[in-house]
Amino acid sequence: MNYKDKSVFAPLIALKYLFKDPITIRYPKEEKDVYPEGKIGPSPQYRGMHTNDLDKCIGCGTCSEICPTDAIRMVEFDDVEEKEGSTKERPVIDYGRCCFCGFCVDVCTTGSLSMTRDYIHDFLTPIEAQKEEIPEAISNEFIRRPDSKHADNLGWVTPDEWSWLELDRVKMPMLEPDERWDSFVEIVRGYSKEEAIKESQRCVACGLCQEACPIHMDIPEYIAAIWEDDVKESVSQIYNTNPLPEVCGRVCTHKCESACSIGHRGDPVAIRWLKRYAVDSLPLDKYKDVILHEAIKSYHKKVAVIGGGPAGLSAAYFLALMGYKITIFEAKEKVGGVMRYGIPAYRLPDKALDKDIDFIKSLGVEIKTGVEVGKDVKFMDLHKKYDAVLIATGFNKGRSTKVPGSDAEGVIQGLNFLEKVRDFVRGEIKLDEVPLSEKILVVGGGNVAFDVSRSAARLQRMKYGKVNVTQTSLETMEILPADIEEVQESQEEGVKLIPGEGPKEVILDEKGRVKGLNLVKCERVFDENHRFNPQFNMNQKMVCEATLIIEAIGQAPDYSYIPEDLQKKFEFVRGKIKTGEHGETPIEWLFVGGDIKTGPDIVHGIGDGHNAAIGIDNYFSKLEKK
């Protein structure tokens, strides 16, 4: 209502309140009983001075972003420990600007920020601050610390049901157990457009996920593009750092979600699945128009990449963008490495991997499959024909438990088993050609072990009509390295888990056939220095019957293709090759990337490939300057 519309009698009407008691509580001079239980004090929903629990605050900055009066600024404090999923910054509030709206509390992702029922703040004098050992930057600002004397006089705290944040994740459509346990059809169905947009709006764009991501993807940017229904922009942002998004949208370790600020009060944003939605939604023939914003300059330098796994493909992509001629040498008949042969089709179907690879090939990358370096082509011949060589052969061998009897015919390696399974799913071999029995024991507690168990269970249903798969691990349920969804889904599919047990000896019959495995209680997996050093209680034993044992306790590299005189120039640390920041080795033309540099992990392999591409580009630049 405009002032001119008001009645001229308005001032007189106000006189009726002259002799009425004031509703306002003149706190702290007056106390009013506002609690049913008789506690004294102003309303619990008063919005007074702020208090921030520094143990819960992660410095995400949502309070600063939402503030309508620009009263909150993020300040870095030296006494705050920086951890993964948090920053050293904390909010500082200017009460000359603050309007006490409480919006900052409403959007606090961790619930650390609240408001007291006090409008009085006692500044600390320099002497008081020194006595209480409070940094001057804090003592001179309106900021409440957890040890504040007013901390027990809380006012506005946003309950989860009133929060402005969407704390519940949009449910991902998935196949039910009875729909999936006898086939290798992809389990996760993917978001629809409406579901993806709804999920993307949960993101507060704090960027903590970006720091946690091994390849530092532009996560807030590609999620914002999805929210704006701009799939092309989202894919463009994704390809800035990740040339294998169809793969990562399905099987990435998604450490970014562990750092998601929303996850402190609710479900983390489905970052991995949103990435999958974006790339699934854009046809391959649209990729070049979206991703390649400028023409690729062509150079005459040639690079040989040994290994067509995550690191090799990533390096090839980025080197191709730099204008170099790239040839990948892959020993298998199909390119992709562990992505092709080591991950079940129900998690990563071939069509998704092929889409990523086809785009890399469209940039002019040549891929030679079925060519084993060291056998079909000599290692040093590559040096003669190419200006630089990148080795990215991965951890392609399984590790054995090496317990007595582990060399028996009925004991096989998990990676070899998974490769056979993928060949069967592609129709390249028959079911009878896959190692199988009616009673299977899988040894291991990681994702690969669960891939083996779940694949074996599916094949048993197909062949025998029932499941008898048992899985044992050194780790207890509390410290299993596998993703929690792998554990839950395996049990839904009929896999029995025996955690906290270690293999002691394979039991064989008189003909040398596997009958079972002797297990002993594992009381400790890692020592006080966090090194792998399992400790067993030999007095607590059990026997697990099985006619086929599949070991899936880790992977190892194979360097037999590298000449011995070159290997002598490397420094090996726990099976991995020690390199420079960008994969450099003591041999100037030779670079290393992927598992053999950082260990088995797809997303780290992608990052390593990118780093190696930078190292090779730097090497060529130095050659030109000479």
**Which stretch of 33-37, 221-225, 287-291 has the lowest confidence by average pLDDT?**
33-37
Higher pLDDT, 144 or 49: 49
User: Which residue in 445, 466, 415 sits closest to 181, CA to CA?
Assistant: 466
pLDDT above 50 for 2: no
- Determine which helix (DSSP H) or strand (DSSP E) holds 279, and give its type and residue range: helix 271-281
pLDDT above 80 for 595: yes
Tell me, what's the pLDDT at 190?
97
314: three-class secondary structure by DSSP: helix
Confidence of residue 144 (pLDDT cuts 50, 70, 90): very low
Q: Once rounded to an integer, what is the mean pLDDT over residues 151-175?
A: 81
Confidence of residue 117 (pLDDT cuts 50, 70, 90): confident
Tell me, what's the pLDDT at 303?
98
Tell me, what's the pLDDT at 138?
42
Q: pLDDT tens-digit profile of 483-541?
A: 999 999 999 999 999 999 999 999 999 999 999 999 999 999 999 888 999 999 999 99
Q: pLDDT tens-digit profile of 188-218?
A: 999 999 999 999 999 999 999 999 999 999 9
Angstrom distance (rounded) from CA 64 to CA 86: 15
Tell me, what's the pLDDT at 81?
83
Sorted by sequence, the CB contacts under 8 Å of residue 159 that are 6+ apart come out as none
**Which stretch of 121-130, 219-228, 316-325, 429-438 has the lowest confidence by average pLDDT?**
121-130
Angstrom distance (rounded) from CA 439 to CA 436: 9
Tell me, what's the pLDDT at 11?
52
Question: Do residues 620 and 388 lie in contact, with contact meaning Cβ atoms separated by under 8 Å?
Answer: yes
pLDDT above 80 for 220: yes
Q: pLDDT tens-digit profile of 84-109?
A: 889 999 999 998 899 999 999 999 99
Cross-strand bridge partners of residue 72: 93
Q: Which CA distances in Å does 171 have to 196, 198, 526, 584?
A: 10, 11, 36, 44
Tell me, what's the pLDDT at 84?
85
Sorted by sequence, the CB contacts under 8 Å of residue 618 that are 6+ apart come out as 582
Confidence of residue 5 (pLDDT cuts 50, 70, 90): very low
Q: How many C-beta atoms surround the C-beta of residue 564 within 10 A?
A: 8
pLDDT above 80 for 153: no
Question: Do residues 615 and 584 lie in contact, with contact meaning Cβ atoms separated by under 8 Å?
Answer: yes
Confidence of residue 130 (pLDDT cuts 50, 70, 90): low
154: three-class secondary structure by DSSP: strand
Q: Once rounded to an integer, what is the mean pLDDT over residues 429-449?
A: 97
Residue for token digits 């030109």?
624
Confidence of residue 115 (pLDDT cuts 50, 70, 90): confident
Confidence of residue 141 (pLDDT cuts 50, 70, 90): very low
Tell me, what's the pLDDT at 292?
84
Tell me, what's the pLDDT at 149?
45
Is the pTM here over 0.95, yes or no? no
Angstrom distance (rounded) from CA 502 to CA 536: 8
pLDDT above 90 for 606: yes
Tell me, what's the pLDDT at 80?
85
Q: How many C-beta atoms surround the C-beta of residue 466 within 10 A?
A: 10
Question: Do residues 548 and 437 lie in contact, with contact meaning Cβ atoms separated by under 8 Å?
Answer: yes
pLDDT above 80 for 311: yes
Higher pLDDT, 298 or 448: 448
Tell me, what's the pLDDT at 4?
42
Residue for token digits 């490397």?
570
Q: What percent of the chain has pLDDT over 70?
A: 86
Cross-strand bridge partners of residue 75: 90
Cross-sheet strand order for the sheet of 469-472:
411-413, 548-551, 440-443, 469-472, 496-498
Integer-rounded Cα radius of gyration of the chain: 30
Angstrom distance (rounded) from CA 319 to CA 617: 8
Question: Do residues 521 and 537 lie in contact, with contact meaning Cβ atoms separated by under 8 Å?
Answer: yes
500: left (phi over 0), alpha (psi -120 to 50) or beta: left
Q: Once rounded to an integer, what is the mean pLDDT over residues 334-359?
A: 97
Domains in the chain (CATH in brackets) are 49-162 (3.30.70.20), 168-293 (1.10.1060.10), 309-394+561-625 (3.50.50.60), 397-555 (3.50.50.60)
Tell me, what's the pLDDT at 146?
42
pLDDT above 80 for 229: yes
- Mean pLDDT, the chain, whole residue set: 89
Confidence of residue 124 (pLDDT cuts 50, 70, 90): low
Q: pLDDT tens-digit profile of 237-248?
A: 999 999 999 999
pLDDT above 80 for 384: yes
Tell me, what's the pLDDT at 404?
97
pLDDT above 80 for 127: no
Q: pLDDT tens-digit profile of 525-570?
A: 999 888 999 999 999 999 999 999 999 999 999 999 999 999 999 9
Confidence of residue 614 (pLDDT cuts 50, 70, 90): very high
Tell me, what's the pLDDT at 119?
62
Burial class (CB in 10 A: 0-12, 13-18, 19+), 360: buried
Confidence of residue 142 (pLDDT cuts 50, 70, 90): very low
Q: Once rounded to an integer, what is the mean pLDDT over residues 6-22?
A: 53
